[in-house]
Amino acid sequence: MTKRGVIGMTLAVLALSAAPALAKGGWVVRVCRGFTEASKIKISVGKPGGKERTLVNWKSDAKQTDFPVRDSLLHAGAQLHVTADSEPADGKVAMCVLYGGKAVKAMNFNDLLDVTASKTHSDDACKCPKSGGQ
């Protein structure tokens, strides 16, 4: 392997190992895989009253269930607005919005849901408060 290849692989490993640490201090949107029947979910985030940006177009065959909201994407502050749109429209969805590793807003719905989460709240209705989406 070339020196450039080794450096690239090292950087990739460091970035992936740092991702959980980044998520613990900020906003994360989690899909509760074991409680979700929808095959696709478009998840958008933004500041309340501001422009939203697509966070992820999740598919049921995806392994990843936690989606950190990066600072480069959004400086959300004390509140985060989340919109989730599922396919098919009658497919059951269970998601959670987390801040600092704590569930602050449950999102249990069919079709479409708009919520605003506050980092100071707590929500016991989250179906997957622990990592893994189960």
pLDDT digit string, tens, across residues 15-37? 333 344 444 579 999 999 999 99
- How many Å is the Cα radius of gyration of the chain? 16
This prediction has a pTM of: 0.79
Q: Which residue has the tokens 């029947």?
A: 37
pLDDT digit string, tens, across residues 64-103? 999 999 865 556 578 999 999 999 999 999 999 999 999 9
Within 1-134, residue ranges assigned H as helices are: 3-24
* Domains of the chain by start residue, with CATH: 25-118 (2.60.40)
Among 27, 11, 15, which Cα is nearest to 101's? Answer: 27
Phi, psi of 12, rounded to the nearest 5 degrees:
-65, -45
Q: Which residues on neighbouring strands pair with residue 28, listed in sequence order?
A: 68, 98
- DSSP structure string for 87-113: ESTT-EEEEEEEETTEEEEEEEEESEE
